């Protein structure tokens, strides 16, 4: 059994490891191979995405079971302002629970969103929307596999740094996608800067709208569960005090 697992996941000739290595070195080769119909060389994007979802689910289980405190956002903010009262603590705790509970759904929904924005920005290029979708299934699955693997190591060694690690990883993901798009569409430095800027601007507006909608839905769910009233009462008591 151990030998089989070793051959499956750690053998360099294995599709999974070969796909991960090539996505780091020459991502356009993996994506172009799939788009052009060469399916035997690398693992297909759906299977790759499935592996990333499985690992994400495993990570969520481990965090819920053993490292829930690692999601305490007070490690990132000034406690005198962000956590000056119990209301703020309850709101941030509920938000963290919501993000953890629906993290797989959030992660999965980001792929078509990124693909749509990318397709709009590169309409004059050779890829259609489906092919952009393939690109981001590969890139975001790579991000998920990397973040879960390294994140679990951080949780074991220094759990108090887990949230900081996650924030730094966002920067790495941004830089990786710049690398991917540059190689995929043969962009010049100027084109890459412009496309990245436009991508981030569009994404900012989209996320702003999604955040408002998610906030409303989250408030409705809390109200239906009876969790909103204690927070409101605590806030009134804090103001009265």
Convert the pLDDT of each residue in 217-236 to its tens digit: 777 776 676 666 665 565 56
Least confident of 35-39, 128-132, 196-200, 212-216: 212-216
Token digits for 169?
A: 């990883």
What is the predicted pLDDT for the residue at 22? 93
Q: What per-residue confidence (pLDDT) applies to 40?
A: 78
Higher pLDDT, 157 or 89: 157
Q: What is the pLDDT of residues 47-87, one digit of tens each?
A: 899 999 888 888 888 887 777 676 665 555 555 454 555 55
Q: How far apart are CA 175 and CA 27, in angstroms?
A: 13
Of 154, 209, 145, residue with least CA distance to 176: 145
Domain ranges, ordered by start, for the chain: 52-184, 188-240
**Token reading at 100:** 């953890």
CA distance 226 to 223: 5
pLDDT at residue 23, rounded to an integer:
93
CA dihedral 176, 59, 31, 178 (to 10 degrees): -10
Average pLDDT over residues 189-207: 90
Distances in whole angstroms, Cα of residue 78 to Cα of each of 72, 188, 241? 12, 41, 22
């Amino acid at each position: 059994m151990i030998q089989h697992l070793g051959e499956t996941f750690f053998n360099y000739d294995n599709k999974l490891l070969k796909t991960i290595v090539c996505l780091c070195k020459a991502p356009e080769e993996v994506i172009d191979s799939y788009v052009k119909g060469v399916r035997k060389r690398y693992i297909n994007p759906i299977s790759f995405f499935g592996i990333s979802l499985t690992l994400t689910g495993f990570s969520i289980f481990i965090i819920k079971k053993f490292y829930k405190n690692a999601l305490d956002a007070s490690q990132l903010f000034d406690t005198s302002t962000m956590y000056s009262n119990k209301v703020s603590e309850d709101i941030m705790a509920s938000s963290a629970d919501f993000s953890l509970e629906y993290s797989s759904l959030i992660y999965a929904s980001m792929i078509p969103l990124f693909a749509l924005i990318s397709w709009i920005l590169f309409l004059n290029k050779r890829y259609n929307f489906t092919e952009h979708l393939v690109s981001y299934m590969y890139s975001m699955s790579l991000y998920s596999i990397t973040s879960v693997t390294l994140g679990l190591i951080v949780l074991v060694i220094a759990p108090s740094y887990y949230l900081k690690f996650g924030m730094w990883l966002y920067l790495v993901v941004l830089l990786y996608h710049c690398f991917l798009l540059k190689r995929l569409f043969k962009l010049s430095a100027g084109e890459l800067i412009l496309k990245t800027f436009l991508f981030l601007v569009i994404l900012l507006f989209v996320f702003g709208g999604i955040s408002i909608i998610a906030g409303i839905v989250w408030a409705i769910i809390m109200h239906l569960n009876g969790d909103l009233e204690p927070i409101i009462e605590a806030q009134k008591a804090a103001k009265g005090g």
